[in-house]
Structure 1
Amino acid sequence: MSGLPPLRDVIARHGLSASKALGQNFLFDEQLLDRIAAVPGDLAGRPVLEIGPGPGGLTRALLRAGAKVTAIERDARCLPALAELEEAFPGQLTVIEGDALDVDHDSLFDTPYAVVANLPYNVGTALLVDWLSAKAWPPAWTSLTLMFQREVADRIVAKEGSGTYGRLAVLAQWRSRASLAMKVHRSAFTPPPKVMSAIVHIEPTTMPEKVSPTILSRLTEAAFGQRRKMLRQSLKSVPGAIAALEAIGIEPTRRAETLSVADYVALAKELS
């Protein structure tokens, strides 16, 4: 690692700049990157999936921590910089060019893996929903350590009744533990985004019995898609939902944000 030039120099030498279209913002603070890499615990020898490594700032921290990193990068401009890291850490880094939304992540690993990523803002939520909606549970991933815009991070860890509570909170908490690991000021990025960011850490827990992830996903999408309306109206598009509400003792005149995660799980179980 000592033989590698500073990341700023690498970016300048390869003529790289953050792409707004790809939702890129680069992090240069080595201490901050090391702190992010430490959130999932000891990574020495462990397989790690990184999405959108860009020029490799977080990748360096993961490799320093001893992780065996598989990185998926869509931006071909960044591949030469990542190739330098492959040479500097023989056998520790595999780079795949492509769109992370189109790749079967589980097929890349023979053993359980951790996900650590400064997610591109434009695909972060879609990737999170995919990871949280896995039918097989526990999933192949052991934890998700992800950078989001602060407002998205707040929605993931929100509790019922709050203004930020919604579909992401239910999906993240019904069979996982979700916590806010650290806040990241906008000034840490180049270029600085208009919003603050935060690291969310998610670990899978026990799968509730006889609950369909597909049904839970449909319920939350319908309920929070019309969150200002009563459940008797917002859940009309989900067959059997209104009868299920009454069967488990939830008033159909309530609104989506007043139901707890446990309420949604009970409702999904009734429908399953």
Structure 2
Amino acid sequence: MSAIDSLPPLRDVINTHDLRARKSLGQNFLLDLNLTAKIARQAGDLTGCDVLEIGPGPGGLTRGLLSEGARRVLAIEKDARCMPALAEIAEAYPGRLQVIEGDALEIDPLQYLTPPIRVAANLPYNVGTELLVRWLTPKDWPPYWQSLTLMFQREVAQRIVAEPGSKAYGRLALLAQWRADAQIVLNLPPEAFTPPPKVSSAVVHLTALAQPRFPADAAVLNRVVAAAFNQRRKMLRAALKGVAPDIEDRLATAGIKPTERAEQVSLEGFCALARAVAAP
């Protein structure tokens, strides 16, 4: 493991500060600094950007983001044990790292960030999906972020990029692909982490679209998609009967057969159905 900066190797940092990963916090640390720098590069050119990082832990990805030229990094960390290690990184990169101790689900990062903004994080497993959904469903679109470069369990990553007809295809795929371009850019085996998780991981890169891919009211689309996939084994005419009393007519208007199931319908089809449901 070659050095990417003048700071000690991450194993030494963990030993010095006694930072054993805690399962209760969904922690699995990446200790290879070459790998964390590679993940940082997946976020694109960071030289003119502020970067939001959630769950930096001992700071492997943080150091990658800074060494790759991020203008500023805002790191939100729930584990107080990590603060001294992160403070050492802030000292090595003067004026470029701000660390906030707290829960990322409860902190509004916008007051600390200056556009353009990108998000990059090895997300804690226990809050990753919830944070992604929040980033994809702001009140106004386009969002404050240009892109999201996020580590997930591989199974979750596959759900984000899934296509119609696959078992992984569902609400998460539709939510992500309606408003962003999403692709898996890196796969990581369990042994890349300390401690090794029981599952493989993957990095997903999402780039925000200027406007949704197809027109639809966000609330109506979410209601239709939720109803369809909550009973995904049922035909749509049965799964969606609670959405509208004349749902078969509205399915026909959208060009969807009432006998189809949710996983057979494309994003464009769901958006057409949302428009049909919203119509008087």
If the length of structure 2 is used for normalisation, what is the TM-score?
Answer: 0.92
Match of 2:201 among 194, 197, 202: 197
Count of aligned pairs between the two proteins: 272
- Residue 214 (structure 1) aligns with: 219
- Cα distance in 1 for partners of 2:131, 2:246 equals 27
Match of 1:10 among 1, 9, 13: 13
Deviation beyond 6 Å, 4+ runs, structure 1: none
- Cα distance in 2 for partners of 1:189, 1:71 equals 20
**Matching residue's letter, 2:63:** R
Q: Could you report, residue by residue, the CA deviation over 1:17-59 in whole angstroms, capped at 9, with x for unpaired residues?
A: 1110111000011111111000121111410000110111100
**1:35 maps onto 2:38 in alignment:** yes
CA RMSD in angstroms, aligned pairs only? 1.6
Q: CA deviation at 1:105?
A: 3.2
Match of 2:184 among 180, 185, 210: 180
- Cα distance in 1 for partners of 2:105, 2:220 equals 22
Change in Cα spacing, 1:246 to 1:106, as seen in structure 2 (3 Å) is farther
Long gaps (5+) in structure 1: none
Contact 1:235 1:241 in 2 (8 A): no
**1:44 maps onto 2:47 in alignment:** yes
Q: CA deviation at 1:251?
A: 1.8
**1:124 maps onto 2:125 in alignment:** no
**Matching residue's letter, 1:232:** R
Change in Cα spacing, 1:264 to 1:106, as seen in structure 2 (3 Å) is farther
Long gaps (5+) in structure 2: none
Counting only pairs closer than 5 Å after superposition, residues 251-262 of structure 1 correspond to structure 2 as 251-262=257-268
Counting only pairs closer than 5 Å after superposition, residues 1-272 of structure 1 correspond to structure 2 as 2-67=5-70, 68-208=72-212, 210-239=215-244, 242=247, 243-272=249-278
- Cα distance in 2 for partners of 1:66, 1:52 equals 20
Contact 2:50 2:114 in 1 (8 A): no
- Cα distance in 2 for partners of 1:57, 1:18 equals 13
Contact 1:135 1:213 in 2 (8 A): no
Change in Cα spacing, 1:97 to 1:236, as seen in structure 2 (3 Å) is farther
Q: 3-state SS of the aligned residue for 2:148?
A: strand
- Cα distance in 2 for partners of 1:135, 1:241 equals 30
Q: CA deviation at 1:216?
A: 1.8
If the length of structure 1 is used for normalisation, what is the TM-score?
Answer: 0.95
- Cα distance in 2 for partners of 1:235, 1:82 equals 50
**Matching residue's letter, 1:113:** I
- Cα distance in 2 for partners of 1:259, 1:92 equals 46
- Cα distance in 1 for partners of 2:257, 2:92 equals 61
**Matching residue's letter, 1:268:** A
Percent sequence identity is 58
